Amino acid sequence: MRNWGSGVDGMREDGFIEGLMAPVGMAQGVNRRSVVAGILATGALLALPGCATMGKPSTTDVIQRLLTLSSQRAFARLTQPDGFWDSAVSRIDMPVLFGRSGSAAAKILKSPLFREKLQHELNNVAEDGARVAAPLVNDAVSRLTVSDALALLRGGSTAATTYLRQSMGPSLVNAMIPELGRVMSVADDPILSQALAALTGVNITDAAHALALGADNAIWYEIGAQEGEIRANPAATNDPVLIAALRLL
Given a contact cutoff of 8 angstroms between Cβ atoms, the answer to whether 109 and 99 are in contact is yes
Q: Please, which residues have CB within 8 angstroms of residue 80's CB and are 6 or more apart in sequence?
A: 127
Q: What is the pLDDT of residues 171-219, one digit of tens each?
A: 999 999 999 999 999 988 899 988 888 877 788 999 999 999 999 999 9
59: left (phi over 0), alpha (psi -120 to 50) or beta: alpha
Burial of 207 per CB tally in 10 Å (0-12, 13-18, 19+): buried
**Which of 49-53, 72-76, 179-183 has the least mean pLDDT?**
49-53
- The secondary element (H helix, E strand) that includes residue 162 is helix 159-168
- Residue 54: partners with Cβ closer than 8 Å, 6 or more residues away: 40, 43, 45, 46
pLDDT in tens, 82-134: 999 999 999 999 998 887 655 555 677 778 899 899 999 999 999 999 999 99
